[in-house]
Amino acid sequence: MFGNYSGATEFYLLGFPGSEDLHHTLFAIFCFFYLVTLMGNTVIIMIVCVDKRLQSPMYFFLVHLSVLEILITTIIVPVMLWGLLIPGMQTVSLAGCAAQLFLYLALGTTEFALLGAMAVDRYVAVCNPLRYNIIMSSCTCNSVVIVSWVFGFLFQIWPVYATFQLTYCKSNVVNNFFCDRGQLLKLSCNNTVFIEFILFLMAVFVLFGSLIPTIVSYTYIISTILKIPSASGQRKAFSTCASHFTCVVIGYGSCLFLYVKPKQTQAADYNRVVSLMVSVVTPFLNPFIFTLRNDKVIEALQDGVKRCCQLFRH
């Protein structure tokens, strides 16, 4: 069943090693993370759309970031949870595997483009506040978001196409909880050195293409904040950037370890842990990062809770 295949039509996801009890424990943990991620990001989307105090470019970008987090986790986590519930390995069709990998990579690329745009937005807000509304107009914000989404999906067409043009003859068992590209390349009997090098260059382009404007923006932001004479003024200025900066550190840190390496066929346990960080832990943390460290969002949440309580009383 799992011998040599000249052209695999389906793959088997190995998932997580361990006993059935461990699988049930992991299911409970990851299900909790997933539900909190869905609820947290949905709440952010709702309060930004409803509250007039949050009608600004920063929160417009935040809504799209929350949508991306919901989609990324939904592509990966339900399949992973189902694999933890059923005994044995999980079967995924070739088309299903390709679709999952493409959507995961395309949405991830879109998210990095959006994080870069959010860094520039924070730079304009802190370093050029008088012209902020002119520079970051609704037309500019809409254009940035559209370009980010289109770029993310177009950029990943060739890498996924090239991955599934390989011949999978060694096995059709993917040693991960989703269709991980590194593990797919490991199953191919083709020489993958060239494609791995191209994928490495593309990953460098995506990550550093959005990381460089982020670093430049925060260099100017920190320089401007340090020139503010009062400590309270410095805290207020930095508080507008703290959430985004925290999100950038976690997101880029995880993906640099996962994708920016010349050898894509990394050890399965390493890929599994970092993939969990990217697809489960980071989306789970982001709603807390953007609410607990943001006074405007906290105020909007408190007002929303008060309104809900008043409605229930009446």
Helix (H, G, I), strand (E, B) or coil at 241: helix
Which residue reads 């940035």 in tokens? 144
Q: What is the pTM of this model?
A: 0.86
Task: Say which residue, 234 or 219, is predicted with more confidence.
Answer: 219
Query: Can you list the positions of beta strands (E) in the chain?
Result: 10-13, 90-93, 173-174
pLDDT at 136: 92
Averaged pLDDT of the chain: 84
Sign of CA dihedral 140, 145, 146, 151: positive
Residue 117 CA from chain centroid, whole number: 15
Residue 303 CA from chain centroid, whole number: 29
Predicted confidence (pLDDT) per residue in 263-297, tens digit: 544 566 777 877 888 888 888 888 888 776 677 77
pLDDT at 1: 39
Domains, the chain: 10-313 (1.20.1070.10)
pLDDT band at 260 (very low <50, low <70, confident <90, very high): low
What does each C-alpha distance from 9 to 2, 167, 187, 193 come to in angstroms? 12, 11, 13, 24
pLDDT band at 3 (very low <50, low <70, confident <90, very high): very low
Separation of alpha carbons 185 and 219, rounded Å: 38
Separation of alpha carbons 192 and 170, rounded Å: 13
pLDDT band at 4 (very low <50, low <70, confident <90, very high): very low
pLDDT at 17: 83
pLDDT band at 183 (very low <50, low <70, confident <90, very high): confident
Q: Given a cut of 60, is residue 2 above it in pLDDT?
A: no
Residue pair 159/105 in contact by the 8 Å Cβ criterion: yes
Structure tokens at 170: 């060694």
Q: Given a cut of 50, is residue 6 above it in pLDDT?
A: no
Task: Please give the average per-residue pLDDT across 293-303, as a whole number.
Answer: 74
Predicted confidence (pLDDT) per residue in 25-63, tens digit: 999 999 999 999 999 999 889 888 888 888 888 889 989
Q: Which residue type sits at 281?
A: V
Separation of alpha carbons 222 and 209, rounded Å: 21
Task: Please give the average per-residue pLDDT across 8-15, as a whole number.
Answer: 83
Length, in residues, of the chain: 314
The set of residues, in sequence order, having a beta carbon less than 8 Å from that of 49 and lying 6+ positions away, is: 63
Q: What percent of the chain has pLDDT over 90?
A: 30
Q: Given a cut of 50, is residue 5 above it in pLDDT?
A: no
Lowest mean pLDDT across 107-116, 137-146, 184-193, 237-246: 237-246
Q: Name the helix (H) or strand (E) containing 216.
A: helix 193-226
Residue pair 83/23 in contact by the 8 Å Cβ criterion: no
Predicted confidence (pLDDT) per residue in 65-118, tens digit: 999 999 999 999 999 999 888 877 888 898 999 999 999 999 999 999 998 998
